[in-house]
Amino acid sequence: MRVAIVHDWLNGMRGGEKVLESLLEIYPQATIYTLFHKTGRVSPRIESHQIVTSWLNFIPGIHRYYRNLLPLFPSAVEAWDLTGYDLVISSSHAVAKGVHCRQAVHVCYCHTPMRYLWDAEDDYHLSPLRRALFGIVRPRLRRWDCEAASRVDSFIANSRFVRARIRAYYGRHAEVIEPPIDTDFFTPASPDRREDFYLAVGALVPYKRFDIVVQAFNTLGRRLVIAGSGPELKRLRNMAGSTVELRGWVTDEELRRLYRSTRALVFAAREDFGMVAIEAQACACPVIAFSVGGSSETVQDGVNGILFADQHADDVIQAIRKFEAMGWPAEQVRHRVERFSREAFQTKIRKFVAARIEEKQERQSFRAQPA
């Protein structure tokens, strides 16, 4: 069976790329199609596969300003010829699902409908000029996005939150299969010893709301370590008080050490799923999280963390004080993490894809029968 996996772009190792790694373990002979690829920015496991890029990859320095080229993405993804493939899996938070593949079974693993296109433009802090220009092209891009969704045979959502958004924007049903984490790697320390600091992890982009976390810890005077890189780094450094440390990008080994030693992970984003919250719990690290989005499905208030209702520094402060008044046994924090293992994810994906292939074969057999 010839398999293609279409991934929006390869410009760093985040949650979507970890899903891609697991998909490649299921389909090791798959060819990767992606809009652009910066060599060395993703894992050797991904880069060991054949990677086909679009014409966008020939634009010098695209990995630095690709966000400005969104109107070009649809034509680039539609230019690929996927004739001859039996299965196409699009790993999509942007345009990958819009690929043309009429002969193949097309399953879309949807990390989210395009946030900046549908319901989260304000989260990206656009300048007045960019906001005006985006307002001109948004209606056309929304029409294209809906048309692209119609090319998908079956959707998989990474959370119930994303399933609801797929239904709202595309009018399509989606099966929920949560993304995987490496539960063999992310494990508690033995013995479990916690140091007196809090942790925030992720890409430093506006919608992650690291700003309110920094504000909260400036007020509290508690120690905060932020692990991650991105366009918000300079602004956050300018905001940070003496108790806030921005480490930048860290290795998986360093991240695991931080999860194992911090008092809690602070997670202020309205996230579609939030893999870092599960990685933390796997290391017996409680999570203090915003209650809207994927966190509401993975953090049980008072069991493996604390939920707060609004994205304001005061709410973060109140949640931290509530957290500090409670006890957090390691077994209690990590009691549900095995459902997010790679093995569980891959079993569900194999079963789902096999059923979709069987359905298509049955439809083709029915059509081939004489009248």
CATH of the domain at 299: 3.40.50.2000
Cα distance between residue 168 and residue 154, in whole Å? 16
Q: Does one domain contain both 334 and 347?
A: no
Mean of the pLDDT values across residues 156-178? Answer: 98
Q: Does one domain contain both 124 and 206?
A: no
Number of domains observed in the structure of the chain: 2
Cα distance between residue 359 and residue 365, in whole Å? 10
Q: Does one domain contain both 302 and 350?
A: no
Domain-located, residue 101: yes
Cα distance between residue 291 and residue 133, in whole Å? 33
- Share of residues in the chain with pLDDT > 70 (%): 96
| Alpha carbon separation from 241 to 32, 192, 203, 218, 225 (Å, rounded) | 43, 29, 20, 5, 12
Of 26-30, 57-61, 170-174, 264-268, which range is least confident? 57-61
Q: Does one domain contain both 79 and 97?
A: yes
CATH of the domain at 86: 3.40.50
Of 107-111, 112-116, 148-152, 292-296, which range is least confident? 112-116
Q: pLDDT class for 76, splitting at 50, 70, 90? A: very high
Q: pLDDT class for 118, splitting at 50, 70, 90? A: confident
- Residues forming a β-bridge with 91: 7, 109
187 has a pLDDT exceeding 70: yes
278 has a pLDDT exceeding 70: yes
Phi, psi for 273 (deg, rounded to 5): -135, -70
- Residues forming a β-bridge with 246: 226
Q: Does one domain contain both 325 and 357?
A: no
Q: pLDDT class for 246, splitting at 50, 70, 90? A: very high
Q: Does one domain contain both 231 and 353?
A: no
Residues 6+ apart with CB under 8 A from 41: 10, 11, 12, 13, 63
Q: In 10 A of CB 343, how many CB atoms?
A: 12
- Are 340 and 334 contacting, i.e. CB atoms less than 8 angstroms apart? no
355 has a pLDDT exceeding 80: yes
Show the tokens assigned to 14.
Answer: 């985040």
Cα distance between residue 322 and residue 264, in whole Å? 12
191 has a pLDDT exceeding 90: no
Q: Does one domain contain both 85 and 232?
A: no
Q: Does one domain contain both 176 and 222?
A: no
- Share of residues in the chain with pLDDT > 90 (%): 85
Q: Does one domain contain both 139 and 168?
A: yes
User: In which domain, by residue range, is 242 found?
Assistant: 198-338
Cα distance between residue 262 and residue 264, in whole Å? 5
What DSSP character marks residue 52? E
pLDDT in tens, 230-243: 999 999 999 999 99
pLDDT at site 369: 63
Q: Is 3 helix (H, G, I), strand (E, B) or coil?
A: strand
Cα distance between residue 208 and residue 203, in whole Å? 8
* Kind plus residue range of the DSSP H or E element containing 168: helix 160-170
Whether the full predicted model's pTM is greater than 0.85, yes or no, is: yes
Q: Does one domain contain both 134 and 35?
A: yes
